[in-house]
Structure 1
């Protein structure tokens, strides 16, 4: 557990799962709800952000929470990389993950707490976690239209190395996610 000002960062515990799922749904809908049809959004939320899904996730991935005055405001999830890349011509680094590589799968901060440094605090803490610290490469994928997130990860030394298509349950293809990678531990 780490404390910075009024923020506390700690590992998720089983009793946090319901609150984590609620936060995950809220932050995902805030960020991407407008890009989905209602049935596709509902399917995605149930399949990827339900309490049962998070119970499975914490068996293999690390999930860290950030709380302010006991209020859960954000989280980061990371684990072994499994990033398919369709177009490696976008960036200069080699694409495709290897054994030992890690992936930041999600980093979300509640809208009311964004742009206050909590995302940076959470990312700094995650990058100092032994699992990410010893990884040769760390991947993240970012929606091609989320320029703020792209800049956020670029400040940490991530570079675009390719892309992958994001498909919804109906099979309607949506925009691309840019695949970004950070090699070893650059000076910041």
Structure 2
């Protein structure tokens, strides 16, 4: 199994949009109303929004491939791009999404390790992320990797206010 991680560019916009919608729907679609899911996808994964995120110097996306097949992606933020004001020494993992056919191959761990490497290169001391309060599998995964819950914040799925736990790990 050959694994490759590469940075996403604006030229990859349509692929990023497609995989974002597919993986988000797979992960959260069954737990939310169709309208709230639709509204969230329209707001968060439209071409303009994704292009703006891709062009932000404090954000980066990375595709992960297994045997030359796109399997998922990572989005990281630093400094002013972080979704919460966490400080200059923090580095955010905003998204890790893996396509269903590639789950349980250890790709999430590889992407976390890649994010930690990026954070260290950027001279950050803490890596953090938000995880939905009802995503128990992800919470267990991050706990196993040494992340600890420090707080929470609201996340809106359409009109539905939900809670994300904020987890962090010193690096």
Q: CA deviation at 1:77?
A: 0.3
Once residues 68 and 51 of structure 1 are traced to their aligned partners in structure 2, the CA distance between those partners, rounded to angstroms, is 26
Q: Name 1:49's counterpart in structure 2.
A: 45
Work out whether 1:111 is the aligned partner of 2:103.
no
Larger Rg computed on CA atoms: 1
* TM-score under structure 1 length normalisation: 0.80
1:177 matched to 2:164? The reply is yes
Task: Give aligned pairs, total.
Answer: 166
Q: CA deviation at 1:166?
A: 2.3
What are the equivalent positions in structure 2 for 1:8-87 lying under 5 Å apart? 8-60=4-56, 61-80=59-78, 81-83=82-84
Kept in 2, the 8 Å contact 1:132–1:138? The answer is no
Moved more, 148-157 or 21-30: 148-157
**Secondary structure of 1:161's match?**
strand
CA shift, 1:149, in A, is 1.0
State the partner residue of 1:126: 115
- Runs of 5+ consecutive residues of structure 2 not aligned to the other structure: none
CA distance, structure 2, for counterparts of residue 110 and residue 26 of structure 1: 8
**How far apart, in 1, do the equivalents of 2:105 and 2:38 lie?**
30
* Runs of 4+ deviating beyond 6 Å: none
2:149 is matched with which residue? 160
Whole-Å separation in 1 of the counterparts to 2:49 and 2:141: 27
Q: 1:131 to 1:16 in 2, by over 3 A?
A: farther
Structure 1: runs of 5 or more not aligned: 84-95
- Residue 148 of structure 1: aligned partner: 137
The match for 1:92 is none
Q: CA RMSD in A?
A: 1.9
Q: Which residue of 2 is the match for residue 136 of structure 1?
A: 125
| 2:74 counterpart SS class | strand
